[in-house]
């Protein structure tokens, strides 16, 4: 009997896992992360940055009659945005409907909060984006059927510039809505060929090359 008690005492003090020995021992073991745990934490933070943190719905704006997309908001003052969007282009007089893929980069330098409220005004947004119609009817390199230099530009890829403004509502209780803020925005923009047409033909007014876009952004 004494031998069994001795063996049990040794097992309890030496071989028993720390979580069984008591909460205090566990807290001491977890208070200082190991080198491996620090490395894994850094990796997880890196992967989390790749997860999109906002979604957009936009109407018009040279990237389709309607488009949806997702992206990332970042910077010390959340002043940068990168968006990936897919738009729908009705067939109009063509044979088929088309899809438009867009990669967009935006810069919003200022956030002006309305005093004593959850509303924020962003008086300026500057965007550069590339859009591409996903159809074999459009081309990146000029086909051989045209004389060399006949067009001089790609019909598949358009470079665009736009300026706009936003109004933002910061949601007070994020835990219930799972959304940090909702933005309403508009943008006025034009593509590279529109600018070339404007500067090449003085009879065209600047407002005639502009396209209007309106949209909603959900920041989660």
- CA separation for the pair 154, 219 (Å, rounded): 34
Q: Could you give phi then psi for residue 171, rounded to 5 degrees? A: -75, 120
CB 145 within 8 A of CB 157: no
Structural domain includes residue 50: yes
DSSP assigned state of 38: H
173 vs 72: which has the higher pLDDT? 72
Structural domain includes residue 10: no
Compute the residue count for the chain: 220
- CA separation for the pair 144, 18 (Å, rounded): 76
- Band (pLDDT 50/70/90 cuts) for residue 3 is very low
Structural domain includes residue 16: no
Average pLDDT over residues 105-126: 95
**Domain range for 100:** 38-142+151-219
- Give just the sign of the alpha carbon dihedral 153, 80, 187, 100: positive
Structural domain includes residue 30: no
- Band (pLDDT 50/70/90 cuts) for residue 139 is low
Structural domain includes residue 122: yes
Closest among 87, 86, 55 to 71, alpha carbons compared: 55
The pLDDT of residue 28 is 46
Structural domain includes residue 21: no
Q: What does pTM read for this prediction?
A: 0.75
Q: Which residue has the tokens 């894994």?
A: 40
pLDDT single digits (tens) 5-51:
444 443 444 444 443 444 444 444 456 888 888 888 888 887 877 89
Structural domain includes residue 159: yes
- Give just the sign of the alpha carbon dihedral 138, 144, 149, 151: negative
- CA separation for the pair 104, 164 (Å, rounded): 14
**pLDDT more than 70, % of the chain:** 77
- Band (pLDDT 50/70/90 cuts) for residue 219 is very high
Structural domain includes residue 13: no
What is the distance in angstroms between the CA of the first residue and the CA of the last residue of the chain? 64
The pLDDT of residue 38 is 81
CATH value at residue 186: 2.40.160
pLDDT single digits (tens) 56-111:
999 999 999 999 999 999 999 899 999 999 999 888 767 778 899 999 999 999 99
Give the 3-state secondary structure of residue 135: coil
Residue 197 has pLDDT above 50, yes or no: yes
Residue 194 has pLDDT above 70, yes or no: yes
User: What is the count of structural domains for the chain?
Assistant: 1
The pLDDT of residue 7 is 41
Q: What is the DSSP string of 47-94?
A: HHTTS--EEEEEEESSS-SEEEEEEEEESTTS-EEEEEEEEEE--TTS
């Amino acid at each position: 009997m004494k031998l069994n008690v001795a063996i049990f005492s040794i097992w309890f003090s030496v071989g028993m896992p720390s979580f069984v020995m008591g909460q205090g021992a566990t807290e001491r073991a977890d208070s200082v992360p190991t080198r491996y745990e620090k490395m894994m934490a850094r990796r997880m933070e890196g992967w989390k940055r790749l997860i999109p943190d906002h979604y957009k719905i936009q109407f018009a704006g040279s990237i389709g009659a309607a488009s949806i997309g997702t992206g990332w908001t970042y910077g010390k003052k959340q002043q940068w945005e990168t968006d990936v969007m897919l738009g729908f282009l009705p067939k109009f007089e063509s044979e088929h409907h088309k899809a438009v893929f867009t990669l967009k980069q935006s810069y919003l330098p200022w956030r002006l909060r309305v005093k004593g409220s959850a509303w924020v005004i962003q008086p300026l947004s500057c965007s550069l984006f590339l859009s591409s119609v996903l159809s074999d009817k459009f081309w990146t390199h000029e086909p051989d059927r045209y004389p060399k230099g006949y067009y001089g530009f790609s019909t598949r890829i358009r470079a665009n510039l736009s300026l706009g403004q936003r109004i933002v509502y910061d949601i007070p209780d994020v835990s219930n809505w799972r959304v940090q803020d909702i933005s309403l925005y508009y943008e006025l923009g034009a593509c590279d060929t529109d600018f070339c047409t404007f500067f090449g033909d003085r009879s065209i007014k600047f407002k005639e090359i502009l396209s209007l876009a309106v949209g909603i952004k959900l920041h989660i």
